[in-house]
Amino acid sequence: MNRTAKTIICMVIGDPVEHSLSPQIHNAGYKALGIDYHFVAKRVTTTELADFIKEVKKKHIRGVSVTLPHKIEIMQYVDELDESAKKIGAINTIVNDNGMLKGSNTDYLGIIHPLEKRTSLEGKHIAIIGANGAARAAAYGVTIKGAKLSIYNRTVEKAKELAKKFGGEACSLEQLEQVKNAEIIINTTSVGMEPNVNETPIPKEYLSKHQIVFDVIYTPKETRFLKEAEEQGANIISGGEMFVEQAAAQFKLYTGYDAPIDVMKQAL
Ligand code: ATR
């Protein structure tokens, strides 16, 4: 579709942002639905955030996807935060309704939608490895769905903070063997991410066919952790699936249409 003055613009901002796959998958979705939207990537530094927000209002940018390192910093510039954003303490999505900017977080939907396609979360015992941003989104998502949470982190203090906020128990990595009892395991650490593809957050022998094993890392496409989980017979979920699901939730907020998820997956 050709861009005109009427074309509705959405974008992803970050620093760096060149490698973001968001334009690819959002534009593929617009094309599939034949709607007059266009999605671009824009590098914005932290010092430029305030001016950038003015530009969003002035130029009627409809939606802004926010990636690292701005997910926390940008919160102060929006007019309203939804419940998920307040609880998680970070946003990845801004919707512009006639100059009113609303911040929300779809990262947690990127975690719970793939899980709920496989099982109900109510009462499930879930182990989260790590205690940074992705862990907060995961902890928020699974606890609002009634799961029981154990958070494992190298720095136990950070696990304790999360457990206090969302409920559940905090554990050290010395206790990692206990993940054998978890029905779902979610890795939110950077262990196993390129270039350290030979690392894995959990020994293979702790994984089994009774588990759903989720890695939020999407480079490489299949981490050593997921490969080994699959070899053990576990049901696996990749970071790519999370990425598409969080984008699909943004797509709905920006356009009002249900995202064509399969098309977006294909584009990825
Ligand atoms: P980010 O870029 O998202 O901040 P990071 O700081 O590399 O990523 O790590 C995020 C998470 O991975 C943290 O929970 C971190 O543990 P700490 O809180 O103890 O720092 C965890 N992590 C990173 N490298 C790790 C490693 N080699 N072993 C165990 N945990 C690790």
Name the residue with the closest Cα to ligand 1, atom 7: 190
pLDDT > 80? residue 1:
no
pLDDT tens-place string over residues 130-153: 999 999 999 999 999 999 999 999
Alpha carbons 106 and 97: distance in angstroms, whole number = 18
Predicted local distance difference test score (pLDDT) of residue 153 = 98
Name the residue with the closest Cα to ligand 1, atom 3: 132
Q: Is residue 3 very low, low, confident or very high in pLDDT (cuts 50, 70, 90)? A: confident
Tell me which of 6, 54, 58, 71 is the catalytic residue.
Answer: 71
pLDDT tens-place string over residues 149-178: 999 999 999 999 999 999 999 999 999 999
Cα end-to-end span (Å), the chain = 20
Name the residue with the closest Cα to ligand 1, atom 14: 130
Name the residue with the closest Cα to ligand 1, atom 26: 191
pLDDT tens-place string over residues 179-220: 999 999 999 999 999 999 999 999 999 999 999 999 999 999
* 239-255 helix and 107-116 helix, angle to the nearest 10 degrees: 110
How far is ligand 1, taken at its centre, from the CA of residue 212, in Å? 22
Predicted local distance difference test score (pLDDT) of residue 2 = 80
Query: Looking at ligand 1, which atom is closest to the CA of residue 154?
Result: 19
Give me the mean pLDDT over the 58-72 stretch: 96
pLDDT tens-place string over residues 85-129: 999 999 999 999 999 999 999 999 999 999 999 999 999 999 999
Catalytic annotation present for 71 = yes
How far is ligand 1, taken at its centre, from the CA of residue 156, in Å? 12
pLDDT > 80? residue 225:
yes
Query: Looking at ligand 1, which atom is closest to the CA of residue 130?
Result: 14
Cβ atoms of 59 and 75 within 8 Å: the answer is: no
| Chain centroid, CA 127 distance in Å | 17
Residue 71, SS3? coil
Residue 97 neighbours by CB under 8 Å, 6+ apart: none
DSSP code, position 62: -
In percent, the amount of the chain with pLDDT more than 90 equals 97
Q: Is residue 5 very low, low, confident or very high in pLDDT (cuts 50, 70, 90)? A: confident
Residues with a CB atom less than 6 Å from ligand 1: 130-132, 153-155, 158, 189-191
Query: Looking at ligand 1, which atom is closest to the CA of residue 129?
Result: 14
Least trusted range by pLDDT, from 17-21, 77-81, 258-262: 17-21
How far is ligand 1, taken at its centre, from the CA of residue 243, in Å? 20
How far is ligand 1, taken at its centre, from the CA of residue 130, in Å? 6
